[in-house]
Amino acid sequence: MLLDLVQNTVDGLAVGAAYGLLALGFTLIFGVMRRLNIAFGPSIMIGIFAGAWLHAEWSVGMVPVFLAVLAGAVITAAYVERISFAAIRGDAALASMASSFAIWMQLEEAVARVFPGRTYGFPTFDGMPMIEIGPVLLRPEYLVMLVTAAALVAALQWGLAHTRFGLELRTLADRPEAARVSGVNVARVAFLTFLLAAAIGGIAGFLIAAADGQITPKIGLWATIKGLIAMVIGGLGSLRGALIGGLVLGVVEANAQWFLGAAGREMTTYALLFLALVLLPAGLAGRTEAGARAEAERRL
Amino acid sequence: MLEIRDIHTSYGKIAALKGVSLDIADGGLTCLLGPNGAGKTTLIWTIAGILKARAGSMKLDGEEIAGLRAPQIVGKGIVTVPENRLVFPEMTVRDNLIAGSFSRRKDKGGVARDLEEVLERFPRLRERANQDAGTLSGGEQQMLAVGRALMARPKILLMDEPSTGLAPIIVEEIFQIIGQLRDEGKTIFLVEQNAHMALDYADHFYLLEQGHVTFGGVPGEVDHDELIQRAYLGARKAS
């Protein structure tokens, strides 16, 4: 029982790291634009299908597949940004959300036309040995997830603190009107942030697909939902919170799956979301309520 | 020299500026007075390129700049110190200042020198250089907003109500800073509620009422009390 708990927690942390990356993508876009891009998951799906197609047609290795996923996700995100965000006024958050929903449907329909089957194979990391830590087993693809997520977050933190683009991004997240008077090119920074988020999401999607070995067009819906839930649990607009939210979601899901079964896992996930909203409206990374209110006022 | 001619700006259907014309002369302090809702902040935001003028012209040293967007306006050297300071609360003082230098992409050495100069000018910002700007007092935030604007090497500084919400002693300090900048030859366009103080420092002033410039002149040549009464108490024709 205790060993199960430990094993589930290890597995959950790995999957949770990938959730954290999805949430990070959402958070970057939300933080900079104050708008939700619910076509985020479907953009990743396009990338994943591009990678799967490349693998099936040309039986290429993991590196080209990875690059195809990344390129597919980023190019699709650029399309979403132009149509649903750049073309719509910044204060019309709902219009952008509805528009990105429409794009989502469009992308899903397009994939369903081109790939009419239900599931498709995705290449996996073959030939890597299982890692044993005492009685606990760590799947090698999970180790890859954990290491990649940690490295990405570290790189992102560094970039935000030390690069010019990172500083511009932070000014926009912190106080958009002040960013404007300081001469920040808001449209350009928003666009690049969108692409950055898609790249992070693409990496997460690649890792998840490679761990599962198969994909369906529903992976877009799945990625949007997991990313959104992890972001809300962690607290809207906080990068650290997004990551913590992802890890918590992963660990809780893995244990619920083991002890309660698949239906129990779904119920536990939504119960967790509900609890997070009621008990910690500012999220686990918790800005104080006064801070959140001041922020809300600022945005009005 | 910035020549503003017949600028019209609206919010939707509501006209806020109904043909504003005024000159901001080089190397002096031009002050804009007027009651709340007269359109003072609207004018600042229109010059800054954040609001778009519906009609009219703005010429910087003869070059038309109406219609340029905010980053381009900053690039031309017209830099705003916004109302309520609008510092970046969750960024350090140093990062706030560096954010002011965004318009100077390729001038790393110059930015480093100017950062040092701003920290020299405002020793209290140096003390708090690694603190989040949100933890500063109102007066310190105002210094930071001025410092951030200076980081862009401005030709013209647009200052919107720098004394709002500050204690009188701090207001005094802020005006000393403004006076010092003017004495260094910087061109300043100041919008200010604190008319007595502003008129003491101004080389030229304009009065904005209901979206029109209704009066202008040199502070020494008018009775300040009478002018202020007209500007803020709405007496249409004082004596």
- DSSP letters spanning chain A: -HHHHHHHHHHHHHHHHHHHHHHHHHHHHHHHHS---TTHHHHHHHHHHHHHHHHHHH---HHHHHHHHHHHHHHHHHHHIIIIIITS-TT-HHHHHHHHHHHHHHHHHHHHHHS-SS-EE----TTPPPEEETTEEE-HHHHHHHHHHHHHHHHHHHHHHHSHHHHHHHHHHH-HHHHHHTT--HHHHHHHHHHHHHHHHHHHHHHHHHHHSEE-TTHHHHHHHHHHHHHHHH-TT-HHHHHHHHHHHHHHHHHHHHHHHHHHHHHHHHHHHHHHHHH-TTTTTT--HHHHHHHHHHH-
Q: Are B31 and B132 contained in the same domain?
A: no
Q: Are B68 and B161 contained in the same domain?
A: yes
Q: Comparing A61-70, A88-97, A263-272, B2-11, which segment has the lowest mean pLDDT?
A: A88-97
Within-domain flag for B56 = yes
Q: Are B51 and B168 contained in the same domain?
A: yes
* Residue A163 touches chain B, beta carbons under 8 Å: no
Q: Are A199 and B117 in contact (CB under 8 A)?
A: no
* Interchain contact, A181 vs B152, CB within 8 Å: no
* Interchain contact, A180 vs B90, CB within 8 Å: no
Within-domain flag for B212 = yes
B57: nearest Cα among B46, B44, B66:
B66
Residue A284: its pLDDT value, please? 67
Within-domain flag for B222 = no
Lookup: tokens for A117: 């089957």
Domain that holds residue B15: 1-77+155-184+196-217
Q: Are B100 and B29 contained in the same domain?
A: no
Work out the average pLDDT over A169-186.
91
- pLDDT exceeds cutoff 60 at A40: yes
- pLDDT exceeds cutoff 80 at B114: yes
Confidence of residue B230 (pLDDT cuts 50, 70, 90): confident
* Interchain contact, B100 vs A182, CB within 8 Å: yes
Q: Are B67 and B96 contained in the same domain?
A: no
* Interchain contact, A175 vs B50, CB within 8 Å: no
**Residue contacts between A and B (CB atoms, under 8 Å):** 60
Burial class (CB in 10 A: 0-12, 13-18, 19+), A202: buried
CATH of the domain at B64: 3.40.50.300
Residue B234: its pLDDT value, please? 60
Within-domain flag for B37 = yes
Within-domain flag for B83 = no
- The gap from C-alpha A124 to its chain's centroid, in whole angstroms, comes to 20
Within-domain flag for B224 = no
Nearest-Cα distance to chain B for A266, in Å, is: 37
Confidence of residue A294 (pLDDT cuts 50, 70, 90): low
Out of B86, B91, B152, the one facing A183 most closely (by C-beta) is B152
Q: Are B116 and B7 contained in the same domain?
A: no
B94: nearest Cα among B126, B121, B123:
B126
Which residues of chain A neighbour B95 with C-beta distances below 8 Å? 167, 170
Residue B238: its pLDDT value, please? 41
Q: Are B20 and B54 contained in the same domain?
A: yes
* Interchain contact, B70 vs A177, CB within 8 Å: no
* Residue A179 touches chain B, beta carbons under 8 Å: yes
Q: Comparing A274-283, B201-210, B213-222, which segment has the lowest mean pLDDT?
A: A274-283
Residue B237: its pLDDT value, please? 47
Confidence of residue B121 (pLDDT cuts 50, 70, 90): very high
Q: Are B62 and B92 contained in the same domain?
A: no
Residue A299: its pLDDT value, please? 46
A134-158 pLDDT tens trace: 888 899 999 999 999 999 999 999 9
Within-domain flag for B102 = yes
- Within 10 Å of residue B27's Cβ, how many Cβ atoms? 13
Q: Are B1 and B48 contained in the same domain?
A: yes
The strand pairing partners of B195, in sequence order, are none
B8-38 pLDDT tens trace: 999 988 999 999 999 999 999 999 998 888 8
A66: nearest Cα among A54, A58, A57:
A54
* Interchain contact, B88 vs A180, CB within 8 Å: no
* Residue B80 touches chain A, beta carbons under 8 Å: yes
Optimal mutation site among B41, B81, B95, B111, interface A, most CBs of chain A within 10 A:
B95
Residue B63: its pLDDT value, please? 95
Which residues of chain B neighbour A180 with C-beta distances below 8 Å? 50, 70
Q: Are B148 and B165 contained in the same domain?
A: no
Residue B91: its pLDDT value, please? 93
Confidence of residue B223 (pLDDT cuts 50, 70, 90): confident
- pLDDT exceeds cutoff 60 at A240: yes
Residue A289: its pLDDT value, please? 47
Work out the average pLDDT over B192-209.
89
Optimal mutation site among B46, B81, B91, interface A, most CBs of chain A within 10 A:
B91
Q: Are B6 and B69 contained in the same domain?
A: yes
- Write down the mean pLDDT value for chain B: 90
Q: Are B169 and B59 contained in the same domain?
A: yes
* Interchain contact, A181 vs B82, CB within 8 Å: yes
Confidence of residue A239 (pLDDT cuts 50, 70, 90): confident
Long-range pairs for B117-126: beta carbons < 8 A, 24 or more residues apart: B117/B150, B118/B147, B118/B150, B118/B151, B121/B147, B121/B150, B122/B146, B122/B147, B125/B93, B125/B97
Residue B28: its pLDDT value, please? 92
Which residues of chain B neighbour A184 with C-beta distances below 8 Å? 71, 99, 102
Q: Cβ neighbours of residue B33 under 8 Å, at least 6 residues apart?
A: B192, B195, B198, B199, B205, B206, B207, B208, B227, B228, B231, B232
Q: How many domains does chain B have?
A: 2
* Interchain contact, B75 vs A175, CB within 8 Å: no
Nearest-Cα distance to chain A for B223, in Å, is: 35
Which residues of chain B neighbour A164 with C-beta distances below 8 Å? 102
* Interchain contact, B152 vs A170, CB within 8 Å: no
- pLDDT exceeds cutoff 60 at B159: yes
* Residue B184 touches chain A, beta carbons under 8 Å: no
B66-113 pLDDT tens trace: 999 999 999 999 999 999 889 999 999 999 999 999 888 778 889 999
Domains for chain A: give ranges and CATH numbers: 2-114+139-299 (1.10.3470)
Within-domain flag for B92 = yes
B58-68 pLDDT tens trace: 999 999 999 99
